[in-house]
A and B are shown apart, each in its own frame.
Chain A
Amino acid sequence: MAGSSVETPLGVTDPAGAARGYRPSATMPFAAEFRRQASRRRTQLALGFMVLLPLIILIAFQFDSGGDDDNGRNEFSSLVELATSGGLNFTLFSIFVSASFLLVVVVALFCGDTVASEASWGSLRYLLAVPVPRARLLAVKLVVALAYSGLALILLAGTALLAGTLRYGWSPLRSTVAAELEPTEGLLRLLAVLGYLAVVLLVVAGLAFLLSVTTDAALGAVGGAVLLWILSSILDQITALGAVRDFLPTHFSTAWLGLLSTPVQTDDVVRGCISAISYATLFWGLAFWRFTRKDITS
C-alpha cells in the first residue's frame, strides 16, 4: 500500500510553504477547465444545437408553400421574406430569431451553471482546498464560460453562413432599413452585429455569473438570469416608464439593427455597449467581491 514505499515530498519547502510543484498561478489551467466543461453533456448539447438550429431553419424554409402566409405587416416580417435571398441574409435571420431568447439562455447556461454546478456536486470545496485561489478560480471559470458563449455565437453564425451560402448563394445583404450591401461589406456588418450581440449578452453573462456564485443551485442561476432578462424586456415594452427604460439592460438589445442601415447608426449601439459593459462590470465585480469573501458551505 501507500506510505513509506514511495518517494515523499516531505521536507520540500518553498517560500510560501507550499507543496512541491504548487504555484497558485499554475492552478486550474484554462485548458483543464475548458476540458472539464467540454466533457459535460449540457455543453455538447448547447453547442450542438447551435449547429443544428440553422439547419432546421433551412429545412423549414424548404417547406415554403409559396402561399401568402400571414407574416403580417409587423416590423420584421421583411426579415423573414429576405431570409432566403442569400447566405448573409439567412445568417442575419438566424441571428435575429435566436438573439432575443435562445442566445440569452445559452449564455446564461454557460455562465450561470459553471460555479453553481461545482458547488452542487461538492467539488468546489476540493478545488478551493487544492488550493485554487478564489479569484483565480472565478477568473478561469468566467473566461471559459465566455469562451463557450462566444463559441456558441460563432458556431450559430458560422453554420448559418455556410449552410445559407451553399443553399442560397453569396448575395448582397439586403434589409428594409438600408440599401443593398455588397457581400464583403455585408459580411463586415454581420461581424459587427455579432460583436455587438456579444457585448449585449455580457449583461446576461454577468447576471448569470453573479447568481452562480450566490447560489448552489445551477438551475436557479440560469433560470434567474433568464427571468430577470425577460422581466427587463417586459418593462422595456412599457413606454410610460419613459427615460427609466434607458437604464434597463435590455433597452438597447436590438440596436444592432442600426448596424444594417446606411449610414451605420452607431448612436444606440454605443449607448448599448456602455450600458452592457457597465452592467457586466458591476455584476462581475459583485461576483468577485462576494465569492472571495464568502463561506463555502456546500
Chain B
Amino acid sequence: MTSPSPAAWFRRALPTRRRAIAAAAVVVLLATAVTWAVWPQGPGVRTENAMLTVRSGPSGDQPVELDTTFYLPDDASSGRKVPAVLLAHGFGGTKESVRSDAEEFAGRGYAVLTWTARGFGRSGGEIHLDSPDHEVRDAQRLLDWLAARPEVRTNAAGDPQVGVVGGSYGGGLALLLAAQDPRVDAIVPMITWNDLSRAFLPESTGGAPTEGVFKKGWAGLFFGGGGNVGSGPAGLSGATAAQPQGAPASAGPPSPGPGAGPGTGPGGVPAGAADPSCGRFAADVCAAYLRIATTGRADQAAVDLLRRSSPAGVLDRIKAPTLLVQGEADTLFPLGEADANARGIAAAGTPVRVAWFTGGHDGGSGPRSDEDRVKFLTVQWLDHYVKGEGDTPGDDFTWSRIAGFDALDRGLVATGFRRADYPGLTGNARREIPVAGPAQPIANPPNGNPAAISSIPFAGGLASLLDGVAGDVPGQHARFESTPLTEAVDVAGAPTVTVRAASPTGEAVLFVKLYDVDPDGAATLPNGLVAPIRLTGLPQQVQDARPVTVTLPGIVRRVEAGHRLRLVVATSDQAYTTPAQPTVYTVAVDGAVTLPTVSGEPIPTAATLWRWVLAGLLAAIAVGLVVVVAVVRRRHRRQDRSVHPEYADTPLAVRALRKEYADGFVAVSNVDFEVHPGQVVGLLGPNGAGKTTTLRVLMGLTQPTAGEIYVFGRRLVPGSPVLSRIGALVEGPGFLPHLSGLDNLKAYWRATGRPWEDAQFDAALEIAGLGDSVHRKIKNYSHGMRQRLAIAQAMLGLPELLVLDEPTDGLDPPQIAEMRRVLQRYATDGRAVLVSSHLLAEVEQTCTHAVVVNKGRIVASGPVEEIVGESPSVLFDVTDPVAARAVLDRLHGVRVLPESDGQLVVDTNGTARSEVVAELVRAGIGVDRVVPRRRLEDAFLALVGENSRGSGDR
C-alpha cells in the first residue's frame, strides 16, 4: 500500500475491531456472571431496632428490656399487611445470630421479629431457661406488640397471624409459647428438647431423671456460656466461650451455615451486678445447676424446675400445627426428644410433621441438601399455616442419612428419604443381630478419670463420624461383637439390647454404645451417641443379674454388608458424671441387638434433574449433528454440478478473479486467463504480483472475493472434486519430516483414497531422480531434493492439469534443463501445465504461452512469441553512446530503445547484428560488448516497468 487512505485504514482496522468487540462481549459476560454470583440477593427489607420493655414474671408486672429487631418487607404497610414470624435464637446467642434467617423470611413476605432473650446480650433480666413465667411470657408480650403493628396481619384484635420458629433454646420457646398462647398459628421448633431434665440427666433403661446420669459436658458448656457473660474469668469469656455461645444459635436450621452468626457474646451488661458463681442465670436455676453438678445427681426440686421449662407436660395444649426438625448428630437433644414431642402433640389432634436431618448440636446445619430440605419444609409449613398460601403440607416423614464424603469439597453428603407415615424410633421393621462375648469384668475409674471419649460438644459432624474421636479405655469396657453382616442394614431409630450387670456395691453406671466395625477393624460410633444407664440392686455375680433392656439413642446409619456390630459397655465417659469410687463391675450381653429399620423412597434430588439435563444435552447434540450433516449433504447435493459448455475441454479458465484480504489489501484485482490442453503456460510477474494468491485460490485453499475458476468446465470452489484432476506444487514442498521420501509419497497417495495402481509411483520417482535417497528421511534432504520430490508428488496419478509454483527453485542448471524437458513432454495427450515463475528465461524456454501479472492485474497474455514480439533487440556497450545513437538512427529500420546508462538497447528489426557493428566501427565508435537482449525480459520490463517496488507482497 503506497498511499494508505483513511478508508483503507478503516477497513484494515475492522477485523481487529471485530475482535475487540468479541473480547469485550466475553469480558462483559464474565463480569455479569461474577456480579450475579456475588450480588446480595433478595428484595428490599427494612429493619427497626428497638429496646422494648415488656412486663412479665409470675405476676406479669416485672419490667424487662428486650433488644429487638423488626424486619419488614419493603412493600409491607398498613394497607398491605403481612403475616409475621417470631424468630427465636439459640442459647448463648442474640438476635444477631438469626439475622440471615430473618432477612430470608422477610424476603419471603413475612414481618419478622427477632429479639435477644432475657439474660443474653443487651437484653435485661436473668436466664430462666425458657420458663413459662419469664421467657415465654416475654414472647407473649412480643405477640401483643406484633398485633399492634399496623403492618402485621391479624386474625382478631390483638391476635397476630404469626408463626414461631427457633432452634434449640428458641425451639423450646416455640413449643412452650404455643402451649401457653393460642394466638400462635404454627411453630417450627428445631433441634430442641421435650424434657430438659431427661436431656441433661438421661437414663436409657427408662429410669427417672433423678436416677439419670448427669450430662456434665453439655451442662457445663451451657452454664459456662450463660453464666460467664460479662463476668467470667478471662479464659472463658474469650474465644473458647464464644464458640459454645454462638454455636447453639447457629447450629439449628434454617441457618444457612455454621458461620451465620456467632453470638455477640458479652454485651453492654453491667458486670458488677452479677453473682460470680451464677452469672446471668436466675438464682433458682443457678442453685439447681450447682446442686446437680456437685453431686452428679438431681433432686426432685431440680427436676421439677427443669420440667417446668419443658414442653413434655404441656404438649396437649399445643394447637398450632407443628413442624419438628431434629438433628441426628446431636448428643444434647437426640432424636428421642423430637419423637416424644411428636407423639404428645399428635395425641392432641394437632397436625405434626417430623423431619430428621444429619446435623444437630454436633453436626451443624448438615450438608447442603439437608439445609435445602429443612428450609423448604419450613417455608412450606409457614406459607400454609400462617400466610394461608399453598396446599396443606402432608404429614409425611423425611429423613436423611450420611452417604459419605463429598468428593469435591470433602464435606458430607447426605441422601434424603421420604415415607408417608412417621414410624417413630422403633422403625417399621426390625433386624435382630446377635452379638456375642463372654461376661467381662470392667473397672470404674476413680473420679471418672481416665474416661472414654465418645463425643466432643461442637466438634462438628466430621469428628463424630471419624473414628478418631471415639476411644475406649482398656480395662474399662467390655466388647460384644456380631459376625459380619451378610447384607447391609439401614438402621433408622433407636436400637435396643439386653444387658446384665453385677456390681459389688449393688449399683453401676454404665455406657452402652453400638459401633459399626468395618472389615479392617476400624470402628465408628455413629454420631458419638451413647446410652448412659444407672442400674441399682445389682447382685455380686453376673449369673444372678436380671436382664435389663437398654434403648440406645436413635441413629440413622447404613451398616454395610461385611461389617460387624460391636456393642461396647463402658464404665466411663468424659461427657458424663460417673461415680467417684473405683469399682469393678461384671457385664454380660444376652442375645441380639434389635435394629429398627425404616423403608422409604429416596427423595429425588437435583442429581435426577441433572441426569435429565445430561440426557437432553446428548440428545440435542445427536440431533444437532444429524441436522448439520443433513444440511451439509443437501447443500452438497444441490451443489453446482453443471459443466460450463464453453470451458468443458479447457483444463483451466480463470474469470475476473478478485481476492481481497480481510485487512482490505487487494492481492488480485482482476485476473482472466485460460490454459488449454497441450499448453505450458507461464504465469509471470514480479514478486508480489498476485501469482501465489491466484494459485492458492486455484488449489481451493483460499476463497476468492469475486470471479470464477473453471476446471474442465466445472466451477471450482474449495474442496471441489474436480481438484483431484490437478496436481500441484504451491509455495514450496510440504512433507512429513520424519518419513522417507517414498513413504511421504505413499502417505500422500493413501490420503487421496484412490486406487494404488493409478499413482504411477515409478514414473514420479523417475522424475524426482533421487535414487537411493528416496529412502532417507525428508529432514535430511537438501532444498533441491525436496523440490524435486514435491514435483514428483504433484505428478502422482498424472493429473490433467499440473500447477507448479516456482518449480526450478533450488535446482541446479542441469536439473533445470531436465525439468524443462519434463514439463514440455508432460503437456501432451491433452494435459496442460501452469508454471508460475519470476525467472524470465525459464518461462521463455519452457512455456508455450505466458500470462504476465502485475499488481494484481493481467498486463499481457498469449503465446510467448506474441508477447515477445518480432523485434529481437540487442544491447550495445559502446565508448560514445551519443555518437553511436546518431549512427544507429541513420540505419534503416534500426530503432534505439529509450534506455540509458551508457548502454544502447537496439531493435535491429531484421538488420544483421554484424552489419550494425560494422557501421559503428566505421564511424569510429568502439564497441566493447554486443549482447542479445533476452527478449521476454524486454517485453516484461516494458509491461511492468522496471521498478516493481511498492507492489507489496501479493
Residues on A lying within 8 angstroms of B by beta carbon are: 1-4, 6, 8-10, 14-24, 26-29, 32-33, 35-36, 39-41, 75, 121-135, 174, 176-180, 241-244, 247, 252, 254-263, 265-268, 270-271, 273-274, 277-278, 281, 293, 295-297
Contacts and interface: CB of A to CB of B under 8 A. Distances in A.
Interface in B710-745: 711-714, 718-726, 728, 730-739, 743
Top 6 closest pairs, chain A to chain B, by CB: A122-B734, A26-B753, A257-B407, A18-B721, A258-B407, A261-B404
Interface in B801-830: 821-822, 825-826, 828-830
Given A17-B714, A297-B702, A127 B764 contact: no
A263 B403 contact: yes
Given A21-B758, A26-B753, A297 B696 contact: yes
Contacts of B30: 244
Interface stretch (B205-213, B575-583, B611-619, B939-947): B611-619
Contact of A267 (B605, B720, B747, B829): B605
Contact of A18 (B607, B725, B738, B766): B725
Contact of A39 (B714, B730, B738): B738
Contacts of A127: 751
A277 B722 CA distance: 37
A10 B829 contact: yes
A178 B408 contact: no
B611 to A, nearest CB: 5
Interface stretch (B31-39, B134-142, B501-509, B859-867): B31-39
A268 B767 CA distance: 62
Nearest to A28: B751
A28 B275 CA distance: 92
A241 B31 CA distance: 11
A267 B606 contact: yes
A130 B700 CA distance: 10
A93 B806 CA distance: 57
A241 B405 CA distance: 23
B831 interface: yes
Contact of A2 (B606, B607, B734, B798): B798
Interface string B217-230: 00000000000000
B621 interface: yes
B826 A2 contact: yes
Given A4-B828, A28-B753, A295 B605 contact: no
A134 B760 contact: no
A24 B641 CA distance: 15
B797 interface: yes
Given A2-B763, A17-B714, A41-B738, A9 B758 contact: yes
A180 B518 contact: yes
Contacts of A278: 617
B754 A268 contact: no
A234 to B, nearest CB: 15
A254 B407 contact: yes
Contacts of A266: 607, 611
13 contacts: A2-B763, A8-B798, A16-B714, A19-B724, A21-B758, A32-B750, A129-B700, A254-B407, A255-B407, A255-B408, A266-B607, A268-B408, A296-B702
Contacts of A135: 632
Contact of A128 (B611, B699, B731): B699
Nearest to B733: A122
Contacts of A244: 30, 33-34, 37
Name the residue in A33, A125, A135 with the highest tally of chain B Cβ atoms < 10 Å from its Cβ: A125
Given A3-B829, A270-B614, A27 B798 contact: no
B455 to A, nearest CB: 21
B800 interface: yes
Given A3-B828, A29-B753, A121 B37 contact: no
Contacts of A130: 723-724, 748, 751-752
Contacts of A32: 747, 750-751
A20 B753 CA distance: 11
Given A27-B753, A129-B730, A179-B563, A261 B403 contact: yes
A127 B718 CA distance: 12
Given A134-B718, A179-B518, A1 B766 contact: yes
Contacts of A23: 753
A76 B406 CA distance: 13
Contact of A268 (B407, B734, B764): B407
Contacts of B734: 121-126
A229 to B, nearest CB: 17
A271 B830 contact: no
A266 B711 CA distance: 58
B264 interface: no
A21 B799 CA distance: 13
B415 interface: yes
B703 A254 contact: no
B921 interface: no
Given A19-B754, A295-B703, A270 B607 contact: yes
Contact of B736 (A17, A121, A255, A263): A121
B731 A122 contact: yes
A263 B415 contact: yes
B758 A16 contact: no
Contacts of A131: 700, 718-721, 723-724
Interface in B364-410: 403-408, 410
Given A10-B830, A17-B641, A255-B408, 20 more contacts: A1-B763, A2-B826, A3-B828, A8-B829, A16-B641, A16-B720, A19-B799, A21-B758, A27-B753, A39-B743, A121-B736, A125-B701, A129-B728, A130-B724, A130-B748, A179-B560, A242-B38, A254-B407, A265-B406, A274-B613
Name the residue in A129, A180, A258 with the highest tally of chain B Cβ atoms < 10 Å from its Cβ: A129
A22 to B, nearest CB: 4
A262 B407 contact: no
B792 to A, nearest CB: 9
Contact of B797 (A17, A19, A254, A261): A19
A207 to B, nearest CB: 15
A180 B562 CA distance: 9
Contacts of B520: 174, 180
Contacts of B711: 17
Interface string B14-50: 0000000000000000100110111000000000000
Given A39-B738, A131-B723, A247-B33, A20 B758 contact: yes
Nearest to B561: A179
B798 A6 contact: yes
Interface string B685-710: 00000000000100111110000000
A241 to B, nearest CB: 7
Given A3-B825, A130-B752, A258 B641 contact: no
B502 to A, nearest CB: 38
Interface in B751-809: 751-755, 758, 760, 763-764, 766-767, 793, 795, 797-800
A97 B438 CA distance: 48
A3 B130 CA distance: 109
B643 interface: yes
A281 B621 contact: yes
A141 to B, nearest CB: 11
B852 interface: no
A2 B766 CA distance: 8
A36 B37 CA distance: 48
B811 to A, nearest CB: 16
B829 A4 contact: yes
A20 B798 CA distance: 11
B822 A1 contact: yes
Contacts of B732: 122
A1 B768 CA distance: 11
B519 interface: yes
A18 B407 contact: no
Contacts of B825: 1-4
B731 A125 contact: yes
B303 to A, nearest CB: 44
B703 to A, nearest CB: 6
